[in-house]
Amino acid sequence: MAELAHFLFHAAVVGMGATLVMDAWWLCQKHLFGVPVLDYAMVGRWLGHLVRGRLRHDAIKDAPRVAGERAIGWMAHYAIGVGIAAMLLAVAGVEWAHAPSPGPALAMGLVSVLAPFLVLQPALGAGIAASRTPRPGVARRRSLVTHLVFGLGLYLAGEGWMLLFRLAG
């Protein structure tokens, strides 16, 4: 039981830290370069409709609103970040959290781009790998870079956590 708690704790710290890094990246892009970013209310709207049995939408922005959709979307965003960190620790071993290295973290970030390409974008009406968007190549490149930044965030969060742990101990 203690091993599971240890695993989950590290997954939560690393996943939330990595998600914060990704969000900081998005904020920089949005405010410095005017790059549009995903509105997590749309993710919450999709999840609200998903629990009612509707997986796919032609355009999620046109779907009826769901109560609390923005909060639902943001909670899901961070929960997914924690889940991906848990996958990293399951593959690389929980020991990775004690001595983080960039390779496994960046690889997990790269693999994680499959989720928006194959699940979220089609479900929201953007098509597989953003194929139904006005500029699919741009959307794909942004997704790929963002998920590599998330991978970098996994590494930085792991390093940051270990640095704090060493300073406190």
CA 7 to chain centre: 19
Confidence of residue 137 (pLDDT cuts 50, 70, 90): very high
CA 114 to chain centre: 11
Compute how many other C-beta atoms are within 10 angstroms of the C-beta atom of residue 65. 11
Average pLDDT, the chain: 96
Domain segments of the chain: what residues? Answer: 2-34+80-161
Is the model's pLDDT at 165 over the cut of 90? no
pLDDT in tens, 27-71: 999 999 999 888 999 999 999 999 999 999 999 999 999 999 999
Confidence of residue 166 (pLDDT cuts 50, 70, 90): confident
Is the model's pLDDT at 169 over the cut of 80? no
